[in-house]
C-alpha cells in the first residue's frame, strides 16, 4: 500500500525544500539511529516544524531524554526489519546517517513506498542558508573524502582559511555534525566538510535540490575494497577546484568522470616536483603552481619541510595532507602567506 502523501506530486514539494526559510511544517520524517549526528537531524527538523520520529535500537540515555524536549518522538525497536511504528507513521522522508547503508531494510521499504531517502549531509545542504554571510549568501563548502587523512586535512584547511581572515570551521563525519555547524549562531564564511564513504553513498542519489555544490573538493585516496563510485561523488558539481592525488590513478579517474560545474579545474597534488596546475615539493619547499598568475614559469612558496618538521608534520603522509589542505585554501582565495601562517598555528 502506498504511503499517504502531503501533495499530489511529493517530489515537487521536496525539491522546494532547499532553504531553511522554506515551509517545512508538517513534513513527516523518520530519522534512523540516535547518535550525535542523528540527534542533530532530529533537532534541526523539529526546529523547522516538521513531525519527527526517531527510531533506534539502543538510544543513549542523554540523547533519548532530549528527543521529547525538542518536540520529537523516539521509538526504540529492532531495526533489522521495518518497525510497526514506522509503517504507521508513513513518513515523507527517511533520513539516515552513514551507519545505515542504502540497502538497509527500512531504506528499501521507504523507496518502495514513495518516501524519499536523505542523508544528514543532504539535509545540511538544503538548510545551509540559516545563517547568511554579510552579502546574504550561505557559507561556501569545501569537501574532503577518502579512506585516510580526512580529519587532519579538514582541520588544516580550516586553520588556513581562518589565518586568511575568513570565519571558517571544520565539520562532518570525524568532527562536529554538519548541521550543528550550519546552525551555529556565529555563522561562517566557509565550512570544511569531512564526508565519509557512507555519507557519500546517500549523496550519490540526491536530487539537485539536495546535492552539494562545493567550492572545492578532494578525495585523498581509496583503500582496498572502498566504494570508488561513492567516493567520486565528492567531486560532483564542484565550482573551482577538484583536488586529487596525481600518483593515484583511481582518484584521477574520479575527477575525469565527475560532473563538475563549468570552469572547475583539476588540481594535482604529490610529493614530487609539481607541473602546471599542481602542488608539490621542490628541494624541500612546498610549492604551488596551480594558483599563481603564470603557472608555467612560476610557483608560490607555501612552507618548507623544515617548518613542517617543527609542527610534527614532516612525515610524507602529513606533507601530502598539508598540500591538499593548501590547495583547498588557495581555491578559496587564501594567499600563500596565510597558508604558511595557518600551518604555523596548527597543532596535530
pLDDT tens-digit series, residues 41-66: 999 999 999 999 999 999 999 999 99
The CATH number covering residue 245 comes to 3.40.1190.10
C-alpha radius of gyration, the chain, whole number:
21
Same domain? 170 vs 36: no
Q: Is residue 176's pLDDT more than 70?
A: yes
Q: Can you give the pLDDT at residue 99?
A: 93
Sheet strand arrangement including 28-32:
73-76, 51-56, 28-32, 93-96, 116-119
pLDDT mean over 108-123: 97
Predicted pLDDT of residue 296? 87
Q: Which residues contact 294 (CB under 8 A, 6 or more apart)?
A: none
**2, part of any domain:** no
**138 lies in a domain?**
yes
Helix (H, G, I), strand (E, B) or coil at 60: coil
Same domain (yes/no): 151, 242: yes
pTM: 0.94
Q: If pLDDT is split at 50, 70 and 90, which confidence band does 9 have?
A: low
Q: Which residue has the cell 532553504?
A: 19
Asked whether residue 194 is assigned to any structural domain, the reply reads yes
Provide the pLDDT confidence category of residue 173 given band limits of 50, 70 and 90. confident
Question: Which residues span the domain enclosing 65?
Answer: 10-124
Task: Indicate the number of domains in the chain.
Answer: 2
pLDDT band at 326 (very low <50, low <70, confident <90, very high): very high
Average pLDDT for 301-307: 97
Confidence category of residue 319, pLDDT binned at 50, 70, 90: very high
Question: Binning pLDDT at 50, 70 and 90, where does residue 224 land?
Answer: confident
Residues 89 and 151 both lie in one domain: no
CATH of the domain at 26: 3.40.50.720
Task: Say whether both 155 and 256 belong to one domain.
Answer: yes
Mark whether 172 and 260 lie in a shared domain: yes
Is residue 160 scored above 60 in pLDDT? Answer: yes
Tell whether 163 and 305 lie within a shared domain: yes
The reply to whether 72 and 173 lie within a common domain is: no
**Is 135 within a domain?**
yes
Looking at residue 147, what is its pLDDT?
85
C-alpha grid cell for residue 89?
507513521
Amino acid at each position: 500500500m502506498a504511503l499517504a502523501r502531503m501533495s499530489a506530486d511529493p517530489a515537487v514539494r521536496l525539491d522546494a525544500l532547499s532553504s531553511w526559510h522554506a515551509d517545512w511544517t508538517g513534513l513527516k520524517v523518520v530519522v534512523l539511529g540516535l547518535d550525535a549526528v542523528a540527534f542533530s537531524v532530529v533537532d534541526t527538523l523539529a526546529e523547522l516544524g516538521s513531525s519527527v520520529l526517531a527510531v533506534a535500537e539502543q538510544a543513549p540515555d542523554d540523547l533519548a531524554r532530549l528527543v521529547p524536549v525538542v518536540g520529537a518522538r523516539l521509538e526504540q525497536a529492532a531495526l533489522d526489519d521495518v518497525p510497526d511504528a514506522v509503517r504507521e507513521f508513513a513518513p515523507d522522508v527517511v533520513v539516515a546517517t552513514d551507519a545505515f547503508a542504502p540497502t538497509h531494510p527500512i531504506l528499501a521499504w521507504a523507496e518502495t513506498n514513495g518516501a524519499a531517502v536523505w542523508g544528514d549531509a543532504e539535509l545540511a545542504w538544503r538548510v545551509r542558508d540559516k545563517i547568511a554571510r554579510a552579502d546574504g549568501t550561505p557559507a561556501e563548502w569545501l569537501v574532503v573524502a577518502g579512506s585516510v587523512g580526512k580529519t587532519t586535512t579538514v582541520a588544516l584547511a580550516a586553520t588556513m582559511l581562518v589565518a586568511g581572515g575568513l570565519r571558517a570551521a571544520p565539520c562532518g563525519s570525524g568532527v562536529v555534525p554538519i548541521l550543528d555547524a550550519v546552525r551555529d549562531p556565529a555563522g561562517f564564511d566557509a565550512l570544511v566538510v569531512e564526508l565519509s564513504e557512507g555519507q557519500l553513498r546517500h549523496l550519490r542519489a540526491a536530487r539537485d535540490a539536495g546535492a552539494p555544490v562545493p567550492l572545492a573538493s578532494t578525495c585523498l585516496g581509496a583503500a582496498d575494497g572502498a566504494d570508488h563510485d561513492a567516493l567520486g561523488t565528492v567531486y560532483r558539481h564542484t565550482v573551482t577546484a577538484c583536488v586529487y592525488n596525481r600518483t593515484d590513478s583511481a582518484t584521477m579517474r574520479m575527477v575525469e568522470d565527475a560532473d563538475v560545474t563549468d570552469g572547475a579545474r583539476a588540481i594535482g597534488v604529490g610529493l614530487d616536483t609539481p607541473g602546471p596546475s599542481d602542488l608539490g615539493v621542490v628541494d624541500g619547499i612546498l610549492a604551488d603552481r596551480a594558483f599563481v598568475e603564470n603557472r608555467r614559469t612560476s610557483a608560490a612558496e607555501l612552507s618548507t619541510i623544515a617548518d613542517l618538521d617543527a609542527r610534527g608534520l614532516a612525515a610524507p603522509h602529513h606533507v601530502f595532507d598539508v598540500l591538499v589542505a593548501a590547495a583547498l585554501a588557495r581555491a578559496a582565495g587564501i594567499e600563500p602567506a596565510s597558508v604558511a601562517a595557518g600551518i604555523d598555528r596548527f597543532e596535530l
